[in-house]
Structure 1
């Protein structure tokens, strides 16, 4: 047997060097792998430097009103961002599929459009934050007299042999079909196309007496009741679903922080204020009654004084105690002063210290941010002279945006709608009118029609729309009421001017 040849010292040194290099490489790779695991763990558990939020525009999620960003879910997540001291960026998705894709690919950190928590969705998404239990509810008119009693439904069995109007293909249609089987009777179902109507439209029709019954998600129904106190939403017709915000499973730290915050948020004053704003406060308190006056003088305040405490304003005839201010400021605008008076009544009922649900303040219903733009503080907006001055400055700026509309009632109507909702929504309506063949210079039958369409997802998600959801029918009603009252004021004051 031959013994192996003895290696030279030089060869041993080379071999030793190679072994050391291999060991060093293995140790370095292991260290880098360990560091990568640790970095990934830290990244998963840390909060983002900027909270990137995605949502769908909608009545309860996010919308712009009077150039102010609003929405129940939006205000909640803004509260959370303030709590963790992070700046927030908002992105509007066109549908929930897009929002989910952005979250899964980590282009967005969080979606605040609540989604049903299901076993299959939990495999790809991490549900977090506030939890809502939302089912379906019957929307009908309240009982106001004996004649209404026969129409009123007290529980789901009362739907038998009644006609319920629903959107085709909706969750409500599926629920009613099942309810018929459970009750062993017939519910007359009237289906309407969902490409031209939405649940809000059907709720509006119930409130207006066009239809007797529809079914809507509870959260939307609660919101609608703040616009229509004459509806009843007490009868539940579907099992509640768990709805939550969602993030990527990667964002463990964000989800943990959200869950901890959500545990205590219902007891906090800020949350209660937000909830009350969207689901309890009467949304018509910024405006006057929906009913029009029987005579021009019916809306003119009675009595010698308006106001309380130190701020008391004497009414010496005419329309209001503020007619002198309206006359002076209207001269800068080139509008009849009675039109400013009509806006003031619509916004505040001539109560100069009123603050509406949206935050609009004072005689002319000015938002604080708008006041800042025109040099007035929140406190100064409660001064009638300042309020009317800012309103005229604002209206003059708005009017310049719509010079393409000929002077007259059409332009005034568009400017009034912009004053109420914000110019961006009227610019959306004009682009929609151009796209869908409506008049872009006429209010009635043109811009008004497309403005109303902005409450429907098909239209507010249209690429030409940039300001998202708007309850356009409410804005159209605002214009109608202001113009009707203005004409009444003109008749009342014509003999005195």
Structure 2
């Protein structure tokens, strides 16, 4: 009798587990009509330089902007949720935590069994990143020329492809896997551009984006077969899939799509700067009177404010950055509005300086726990460039890894550089995701160096 009772209990538990598992595996039956009724569409994505990131507090990314355009076409509010991996993204979709994957998900047999692919069928391949005019040599134009060359590559699929290519060629490529704790693929691209190394490998989309930072890199040589990817929805959302595909076919002809493509893959991310001005007459710019007038509001030296303006806009009041920052002090539109610049006056020099100083003061308040005023200035400058969220993340990482979170040099600055690496921006202490930190790292150094030069030349 006891055995029968025990057997019955075991069978009951198994049945309950099966029912529970079946319930968990049910895919929500939500399609375009239900999404429209809800008034919002939830997009799933991953942090990345071409997908989604925060810049000066503003959400950006090529895929993000396309998703905004799709949401606008349906008159829906866009909600973004970030996953840590493609596998997690698909699981979130199947659980009903999102409506559409707005990320180039690899079109594989595994995922075809789980989702409906839709939108643009994006075709990528891996390319060799090299410098134009490498010494006296012409760029490599054939993979056979890689034999005998040293190629630095991040472990994973790039390294795997390079190993396979090496076998296909009968050996001879000198492959250097890098330490992923300190270098990312984007770091390697930068090293190629600066002549530290000669070659690396990455996806052509990432390479094309990085050409807007480093105009001297060559990315013409493909070293892999094509890989297809696209957005995706649940299998229970065929109408949404059909709409997204048709919408994309029409959207690629619009000005909004062309503007997004130009912003991320064509427009240079670097502001051209003229040579150092002649400071012999004690004049830095035509706007010195404004820097002197408003710097007092935050107890800054006016020459520091002038150095910030030069770095941001080259003293060009009409400047517009790739991200949409405007004017002498290059404030983002949302920030300019919050700081009280009237619409249409973003290019007025005094409005720009006044608003920038107000913003700098508010930012300084966020870092008032930093006891050293000179250190605090570095954090404020970094936040002006990156947005305070990424600096707060870098401080949290510094503390976690035993560095001083209240010191910039050799401490927090090291972790703003690491915010472009997945294992760091996906760390639980980080709240603001991916960031290309090299610009911020240089930004702080350049401004303080130029301020010192201004002070050396101009004594008041």
Considering the TM-score relative to the shorter chain, is it more than 0.5?
Answer: yes
Cα distance, 1:201 vs. partner? 1.3
Equivalent residue, structure 1, for 2:432: 467
- In the TM superposition, what are the counterparts of 1:78-117 in structure 2 within 5 Å? 78-117=68-107
Q: 1:264 to 1:423 in 2, by over 3 A?
A: same
- In the TM superposition, what are the counterparts of 1:112-131 in structure 2 within 5 Å? 112-131=102-121
- In the TM superposition, what are the counterparts of 1:126-165 in structure 2 within 5 Å? 126-143=116-133, 148-150=135-137, 152-165=139-152
Q: Quick one: distance in 1 between partners of 2:199 and 2:131?
A: 8
Contact 2:28–2:94, Cα closer than 8 Å, also in 1: no
Equivalent residue, structure 2, for 1:203: 189
Cα distance, 1:162 vs. partner? 0.4
Query: Match for 2:238 among 247, 252, 270?
Result: 252
Give ranges in structure 2 of 5+ residues lacking alignment. 1-26
Contact 1:301–1:320, Cα closer than 8 Å, also in 2: no
Query: Match for 2:170 among 178, 184, 190?
Result: 184
Q: 1:378 to 1:356 in 2, by over 3 A?
A: farther
Cα distance, 1:47 vs. partner? 5.3
Q: Quick one: distance in 1 between partners of 2:32 and 2:71?
A: 17
- In the TM superposition, what are the counterparts of 1:199-348 in structure 2 within 5 Å? 199-285=185-271, 288=273, 298-300=275-277, 318-348=283-313
Q: Quick one: distance in 1 between partners of 2:140 and 2:64?
A: 35
Q: Quick one: distance in 2 between partners of 1:181 and 1:407?
A: 56
Cα deviation code 1:297-356 (max 9, x no counterpart)? x42279xxxxxxxxxxxx985100000010000111111100111111111111111111
Query: Match for 2:43 among 43, 53, 63?
Result: 53
Q: Does residue 412 of the first structure (1) align with residue 399 of the second (2)?
A: no
Q: 1:316 to 1:265 in 2, by over 3 A?
A: farther
Contact 1:47–1:253, Cα closer than 8 Å, also in 2: no
Q: Quick one: distance in 2 between partners of 1:316 and 1:275?
A: 44
Q: 1:151 to 1:191 in 2, by over 3 A?
A: farther
TM-score (norm. length: structure 2): 0.90
Give ranges in structure 1 of 5+ residues lacking alignment. 1-39, 290-297, 303-314
Contact 2:282–2:458, Cα closer than 8 Å, also in 1: no
Q: Quick one: distance in 2 between partners of 1:150 and 1:373?
A: 52
Q: 1:42 to 1:419 in 2, by over 3 A?
A: closer
Q: 1:352 to 1:481 in 2, by over 3 A?
A: same
Structure 1 residue runs of 4 or more that deviate by more than 4 Å after TM superposition: 40-43
Cα distance, 1:264 vs. partner? 2.0
3-state DSSP of counterpart to 2:346: helix
- In the TM superposition, what are the counterparts of 1:61-72 in structure 2 within 5 Å? 61-72=51-62
Cα distance, 1:195 vs. partner? 4.2
Q: 1:301 to 1:340 in 2, by over 3 A?
A: same
TM-score (norm. length: structure 1): 0.83
Provide the alpha-carbon RMSD of the alignment: 2.0
Equivalent residue, structure 1, for 2:18: none
Farther-moved stretch of structure 1 (427-436 vs 275-284): 427-436
Q: Quick one: distance in 1 between partners of 2:87 and 2:343?
A: 41
Q: Quick one: distance in 1 between partners of 2:449 and 2:189?
A: 25
